[in-house]
Amino acid sequence: MTALGLAAVLAGCGGSGGPDGVTLRMVAADYGDGAAGSSRAYWERLVRAFEAKNPGVRVDVSVYSWNDVDAKVREMVDAGNPPDVAQIGAYADYAAKGLLYRADELLSIPVQADIVAQLAEAGQVDSVQYGIPFASSTRLLFYNKSLFAKAGLDAPTTWQELASAAQALRARGVKYPYALPLGPEEAQAETMQWLLSGGGGYTDPQLGTYSIDSAANVTTLNWLKNDLVGKGLTGPVAPGRLNRADAFAAFADGEVGMLNGHPALMQPARKKGVRFGMVPMPGADGPAEMSMGVADWMMAFKQNGNAEQAGTFLDFVYSERNVLEFSRRYDLLPVTTSASGVMAAARRDADLKPFLEQLPASELYPAGRTSWASISADVKKRVGAAVAPGGNPAAVLGGLQAAATRVENAG
């Protein structure tokens, strides 16, 4: 998700509050790709409508890029001045420190019940929900239909078919037969999608512990290293230096045969005339049984004691109309059952239906673990080296597992 690099405080939303003198401060992430698409416009409209219905409460919203928003909230918390409401990438650290309201202290019963159960569960720490999902997405394999047609290819369903397709595309001069972004921007996502396709993942669902260096994960990264990267099928930029944004831009420019993508890739690709298809991620022996899901989070801090006002605002944010507007504006999946039902049935949302269908069989990051932020950062730094020439997947995954164990034990 890309956004503006500077914060934008919504004009006209300040002041001393309504008759009760309550002004909520909110920090939000920007999902737009420039000034015209900035999330600022969405929040500006929503806040205007909310304040018209709730004259006792005013809302100041500051919008920051995804590169900055988590750090900005961290700075505010460390300075003893947290916002009332934050819409960012992680919540577990704050919940573990007792800084957040529980979801049931904020949302009305109908609104809380409307949150997609799988996403609500991912917002729990020690079986209590603190993180409220705000937006979600899943991943599919995007492929360039024009390049595939010229090479006489069908969409792959197995790793071997993917590698064979990449070889055929390379033979026809395609710059990135398969784009493998393991650079520092979002390597944890590409890695997780591949681990799931190999029957592994970051955690063991039975034991509830990290399983980063499992045999299945080692097998998957060895295959990537030897059968894709080692055979020159991932393009001119080393995977460890290729960021997702650059891979998406190359796909929109017609330079990529295949890559893992989320719904936000559809619009820029169409704008540049790329004909693309989307299929489930191939697995070792057939389509992967599990896809990766991602959720961003809403939370409310307790320090200012504005639970009632924050809850009233969040009930408004999670109304069907507002959830639908945001999801459609940014090609994201809704986090409420009511909005999901509308989008699943609406012709205008047909492009999102394949992603909606993936959600029930998706696995999310282990966001409820206070260690996840540290582990995710470690994956971003180190996993690219695993598939590089001379890389050692078992050693890299073993190092990540050891680091995860240390962080868990320290917590």
pLDDT tens digits for 174-232?
Answer: 999 999 999 988 899 999 999 999 999 999 988 889 999 999 999 999 999 999 999 99
Which residue matches tokens 């693309």? 276
Residue 32 confidence (pLDDT): 82
CATH 3.40.190.10 location in the chain: 8-137+294-364, 140-280+371-410
Phi, psi of 178, rounded to the nearest 5 degrees: -130, 120
- The string over 182-200, giving b where at least 16 C-beta atoms fall within 10 Å of a residue's C-beta and e elsewhere, is bbebbbbbbbbbbbbbbbb
Residues of the chain with pLDDT under 70: 1-20, 33-36, 411
Looking at residue 1, what is its pLDDT? 40
Q: Tell me, what's the pLDDT at 411?
A: 65
What is the CATH class of 8-137+294-364? alpha beta
77 three-class SS: helix
Q: 411, 335, 339: which is closest to 373 by C-alpha?
A: 411
* Architecture in CATH for domain 140-280+371-410: 3-Layer(aba) Sandwich (3.40)
DSSP per-residue string spanning 368-397:
TSTTHHHHHHHHHHHHHHHTSTT--HHHHH
365-396 pLDDT, tens digit each: 998 888 888 899 899 999 999 999 999 999 99
SS3 state at 144: strand
Query: For residue 119, what is the DSSP state?
Result: H
Identify the CA nearest to 33 among candidates 292, 270, 265.
265
pLDDT at 360: 83
Which value, to the nearest 10 degrees, does the dihedral of the CA atoms of residues 225, 226, 228, 230 take? 90
Residue 13: the pLDDT is 38
User: What pLDDT shows up at residue 12?
Assistant: 35
- Looking at this protein, which amino acid is placed at residue 267? Q
Residue 152 backbone zone (phi > 0: left; psi -120 to 50: alpha; other: beta): left
Residue with tokens 């792959």: 156
- Determine whether 389 is exposed, middle or buried from the number of CB atoms within 10 Å of its CB (0-12, 13-18, 19+): exposed
Kindly state the tokens that stand for 279: 């299929």
Residue 319, C-beta contacts closer than 8 angstroms, at least 6 positions apart: none
Cα radius of gyration rounded to whole Å, the chain:
22
Give the type of residue at 342.
V
DSSP symbol at 236: S
What's the rounded Cα separation, in Å, for the pair 122 and 203? 14
Coil, helix or strand at residue 409? helix
